[in-house]
């Protein structure tokens, strides 16, 4: 088995250092700029967190590639190679951060040959650090974690996100999926405002499934989903495209769940809704 412990150590150090910056600013009033639309925000702390993480990674691994949210262009294309590649979200849950809400984290993943081998998600407010190394299980604050065993929609808590899609078509699609889940008597639906932390909640067994996204422009980005996808898999969960096809980090659609049975039950609801 390959030894990725050095990458894990660097990712954890970066996440904890950036977490200190985030925690210090969390309760304060923030100024923010907007990106793709008025929901998609960036603050000085997103940029400061990214700068800190990038400088640590570049000085430790000068030849590695980096795909990071605030310095990536917004064309929906990712120039990923077989080189070791770091995927970084310096703050996942920026809207929550702007409003001083709890679900805010740093998400860092390492890919080798286009496969995720290390994932770290650190929540400085909730004081939970999730990590996984390929083939070695998933952990929260160094305690092994597992997904739930839920199969039944009527007993399931499922999360989704509205993301930043404010088009008429996007809104109808998202509401249609919610309507079908509710009509099929789902127990609970929640939105936490952080893709990475929601995936970790599935890995912990707190949430039974999570779905989000339409395409590479309207949906979670690779830096939102890469660390979380490994953490869910290593916790015994499953990761798919929202269509039920094989998951891709790059196309803006993610579905994670605890069991294949619940996957079937949720996907058959959300894919019925082509309003």
Query: What residues are labeled active site?
Result: 69, 89, 91-92, 94, 224
As a whole number of angstroms, the distance between CA 206 and CA 95 comes to: 22
Nearest to 103 by CA among 257, 244, 230, 207: 207
**Interaction with ligand IPD in 180-199: which residues (CB under 6 A)?**
193-195
Q: Is 212 in the site for Ca ion (CB under 5 A)?
A: no
To ligand IPD, the closest distance from the beta carbon of 261 in angstroms equals 26
Nearer to ligand IPD, 69 or 234 (CB): 69
Between 108 and 267, name the residue whose CB sits nearer to Ca ion: 108
92 part of the interface to ligand IPD, by CB under 6 A: yes
Sheet strands side by side (includes 238-240): 188-190, 157-160, 209-212, 254-257, 238-240
Q: Are the beta carbons of 66 and 53 closer than 8 angstroms?
A: no
| Binding-residue pattern over the window 203 to 242 for ligand IPD, x denoting contact by CB under 6 A | ---------x-------xx--x------------------
Q: Are 256 and 200 in contact (CB under 8 A)?
A: no
Minimum separation from the CB atom of position 36 to ligand IPD (A)? 10
- Among 50, 89, 161, 208, contact with Ca ion (rule: CB under 5 A): 89
Q: Is 69 in the site for Ca ion (CB under 5 A)?
A: yes
Dihedral, CA atoms, 112, 118, 123, 126, nearest 10 degrees? 160
As measured in angstroms, the least distance from the Cβ of 70 to Ca ion is: 7
Tokens of 204: 């912990």
Q: Which among Ca ion, ligand IPD, none contacts residue 193 (Cβ within 5 to 8 A by kind)?
A: ligand IPD
Shortest separation between residue 136's beta carbon and ligand IPD, angstroms: 26
Answer yes or no whether residue 161 interacts with ligand IPD by CB under 6 A: yes
Work out what residue 163 binds among Ca ion, ligand IPD, none; the CB cut-off runs from 5 to 8 Å by kind.
Answer: ligand IPD
- Is residue 103 a contact partner of residue 93, using CB atoms and an 8 Å limit? yes
Site for ligand IPD in 5-44 (CB under 6 A): none
Total residues in contact with Ca ion, by rule CB under 5 A: 4
Bridge partners (DSSP) of residue 119 are 109, 132
Residue 124 touches ligand IPD, criterion: CB under 6 A:
no
Identify which of residues 4 and 119 has a Cβ nearer to ligand IPD in the complex: 119
The dihedral built from the CA positions of residue 123, 129, 133 and 139, taken in this order, carries a sign that is negative
Contacting residues toward ligand IPD, per CB under 6 A = 69, 89, 92-94, 161, 163, 193-195, 212, 220-221, 224
* Residues near Ca ion, by CB under 5 A: 69, 89, 91, 94
């Amino acid at each position: 088995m390959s030894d990725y412990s050095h990458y894990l150590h660097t990712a954890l150090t970066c996440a904890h250092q950036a977490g200190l910056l985030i925690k210090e600013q969390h309760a304060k009033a923030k100024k923010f700029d907007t990106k793709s639309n008025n929901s998609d925000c960036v603050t000085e702390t997103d940029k400061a967190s990214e700068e800190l993480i990038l400088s640590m990674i570049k000085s430790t691994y000068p030849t590695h590639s980096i795909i990071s949210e605030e310095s990536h262009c917004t064309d929906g294309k990712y120039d990923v190679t077989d080189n070791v590649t770091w995927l970084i979200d310096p703050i996942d849950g920026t809207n929550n951060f702007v409003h001083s809400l709890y679900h805010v984290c740093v998400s860092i993943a390492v890919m080798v040959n286009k496969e995720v081998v290390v994932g770290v998600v650190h929540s400085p407010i909730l004081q939970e650090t999730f990590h996984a190394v390929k083939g070695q299980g998933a952990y929260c604050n160094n305690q092994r974690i597992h997904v739930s065993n839920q199969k039944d929609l009527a007993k399931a808590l499922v999360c989704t996100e509205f993301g930043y899609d404010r088009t008429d078509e996007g809104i109808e699609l998202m509401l249609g999926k919610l309507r079908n889940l509710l009509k099929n008597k789902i127990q609970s639906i929640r939105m936490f405002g952080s893709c990475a932390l929601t995936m970790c909640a599935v890995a912990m067994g707190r949430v039974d499934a999570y779905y989000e996204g339409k395409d590479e422009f309207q949906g979670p980005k690779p830096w939102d989903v890469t660390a979380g996808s490994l953490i869910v898999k290593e916790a015994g969960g499953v990761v798919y495209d929202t269509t039920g096809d094989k998951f891709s980090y790059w196309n803006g659609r993610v579905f994670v769940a605890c069991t294949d049975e619940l996957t079937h039950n949720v996907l058959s609801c959300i894919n019925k809704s082509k309003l």
